[in-house]
Amino acid sequence: MRGALGHTPRAVWQVLNCVQRAARGGETMLVDGLSVARRLAEEQPAAFAYLSRTPLPCASTSPTT
């Protein structure tokens, strides 16, 4: 089954693990994508309509995909 972006849907949960702490930087920000989409649809319906209907290229750096 193919997802909205043309790729096979993956697991719902993603676990991130720090292998080695960076001396500087390395900040991470995680967001709830569905929450962002809902808020965008409420606050900027034209932008949401454009982004939800316009095909955008995507790529994976994973050697298995």
Length of the chain: 65
**What is the per-residue pLDDT for 50?**
92
- Taking the whole predicted model, whether its pTM rises above 0.75 is answered as no
Indicate the domain borders of the chain. Answer: 25-54
23 sits in the region (left: phi over 0; alpha: psi -120 to 50; else beta) called alpha
Rg of the chain in Å (alpha carbons): 16
Other residues' Cβ atoms within 10 Å of the Cβ of residue 40: 15
Tell me the CA distances in angstroms from 23 to 19, 28, 50, one per residue in order.
13, 14, 40
**pLDDT greater at residue 6 or residue 45:** 45
**What is the per-residue pLDDT for 33?**
81
